[in-house]
Amino acid sequence: MGAGAAQLGETIPKNQRFATLVSLMLSSQTKDEVTSAAVRKLREAVGGSLSVDAVLATNDDAVSEAICKVGFWRRKTDYIKRTARRLQDEYDGDIPKTVDELCSLPGVGPKVAIIALHVGWKIEHLSGSPVSTLTPTSESSHTTLRRSKRIKVESGPSEPRDDARSLLVKFEGLEETTLQVAVDAPATGTSKRKPATRVKREGTTSPKKQKPIKQALETPHPTPARWSEAYNAIKEMRSRIVAPVDTMGCNRAQLEETIPQNQRFATLISLMLSSQTKDEVTFAAVGKLREAVGGSLSVDALVRADDSVISDAICKVAFWRRKTQYIKQAAQRLCDDFDSDVPKTVDELCSLPGVGPKMAFLCLQDAWKLNVGIGVDVHVHRITNRLGWHKPPTKNPEETRLNLQSWLPLELHPEINALLVGFGQTICLPVGPRCDTCKLNDGLCPSARKGTTTRVKTGKAVVAAARKAGPEVEIAIETETVDSVRDPSSPLSDA
């Protein structure tokens, strides 16, 4: 049930390494059997495979519920989510290969880093330092790790030296433990003891620049058969439906502003609040925030506003505490670096706290009227996979975006998000899609109504006996028919 066992439930090497790291992060002050059970529950909660993308797509509550038996589970939920975000942004969804880079992740200390390299990357003969050797002195020597994760080597002047030293490793508020770390054998003779020096380690460079957002596939995805028929059928259905996104979507936030600069900022704020939140809740939160900061959503107003004022206004949206921090930090960045306006490129927008590619593309479309890419959310990702437009099915919204951009006509890029979001809110629901009312179920959607199962529920109906007197009889007569719809984007769709 140790850390190595966590990767046995994965088939992709990248996911095996991530599962090992997650298991080690959960193991602090927790018994192995509890950690093993938590890893298993977390894998189920994120869809059957512990990948960086799956963890990012799962809300904090689901992660917390899965790991609630381990020690410090609330803190570890935050660590796991932040670590997954760092791995996706800076390490291509994989775990780093050096101690320093691993220790830069939230909740990861030297012990976890060393074991992760042993188990995840099969790096042998590693002992506290990835490529260099610690030099013991009569005084305490320190590595160049940041202060909260510094390794302290204790070595007294009169102690006999051998080939190992005990390291007192202090994790960020989690635990203290002792490791054995190999050091150089002492030199013989009467040579003078040299003072400790800091050695620059090879291969431990930290990313200095954010990776640019990928704009196109090297090889375009083939154009799906009959896609235009399906697209036009959806447009026809949507023309008769008013969905929440039509009246309370993120593009509506700018309508309450008169200054173009504030209109663009209001659009960005609405998008930042919308993550894992219903349109009606986001719309109400934007209105309350506007009132709370004086009647207009401007960068300067948000910079001056207290965190508590912002939190009170947006407390109904998901992750409101984190979004309060993101909004304050983003407003300060816009004030300092962009003349209090919204940037005009995807990469600059994605450099803001709490802003990802989906928000960036939608913001450029609505705020600047720039058509540079498709904003793909869970609805667009789910529906296009159900329609069979991706071969093989895409695993995350970014893969979906790149596929769609490679073949969908450019003039349709700005409208497809709202079109499919509204369709997903009203007909192609995540659970229990309304295939009975959908025009695509006549050969245009391969996922439509693949089969039905009938379950019998125990209901109660009282039937009077034919004779005048006698007992009443209870019989089960209620049945329920459930439509089973296959979702190609779901890892459980073939189960």
Catalytic residues: 358
Q: Determine the Cα–Cα distance for residues 70 and 73; give it in Å rounded to an integer.
A: 6
Q: Which two structure tokens, joined as six digits, stand for 426?
A: 């009203």
Beta bridge partners of residue 451, listed in sequence order: 484
For residue 343, whether the previous peptide bond is cis, meaning omega lies within 30 degrees of 0, is: no
Write the secondary structure of the chain as one string of H (helix), E (strand) and C (coil): CCHHHHHHHCCCHHHHHHHHHHHHHHCCCCCHHHHHHHHHHHHHHCCCCCCHHHHHHCCHHHHHHHHCCCCCHHHHHHHHHHHHHHHHHHCCCCCCCCHHHHHCCCCCCHHHHHHHHHHHHCCCCCCCCCCCCCCCCCCCEECCCCHHHCEEECCCCCCCCCCEEEEEEECCCCCEEEEEEECCCCCCCCCCCCCCCCCCCCCCCCCCCCCCCCCCCCCCCCCCCCHHHHHHHHHHHHCCCCCHHHHHCHHHHHHHCCCHHHHHHHHHHHHHHHCCCCHHHHHHHHHHHHHHCCCCCCHHHHHHCCHHHHHHHHCCCCCHHHHHHHHHHHHHHHHHHCCCCCCCCHHHHHCCCCCCHHHHHHHHHHHCCCCCCCCCCHHHHHHHHHCCCCCCCCCCHHHHHHHHHHHCCHHHHHHHHHHHHHHHHHCCCCCCCCHHHCHHHCCCCCCCCCEEEEEECCCCEEECCCCCCCCCEEECCCEEEEEECCCCCCCCCCC
For residues 461 and 477, the answer to whether their CB atoms sit within 8 Å is yes
Q: Determine the Cα–Cα distance for residues 292 and 243; give it in Å rounded to an integer.
A: 28
Within 8 A by CB and 6+ apart from 365, the residues are: 371, 375, 414
Q: Determine the Cα–Cα distance for residues 388 and 400; give it in Å rounded to an integer.
A: 12
Amino acid making up residue 167: L
Strand order in the sheet with 151-153: 141-142, 151-153, 164-170, 176-182
Residue written as token pair 């006698």: 470
Estimate the crossing angle of helix 413-426 against helix 378-386, to 10 degrees.
80
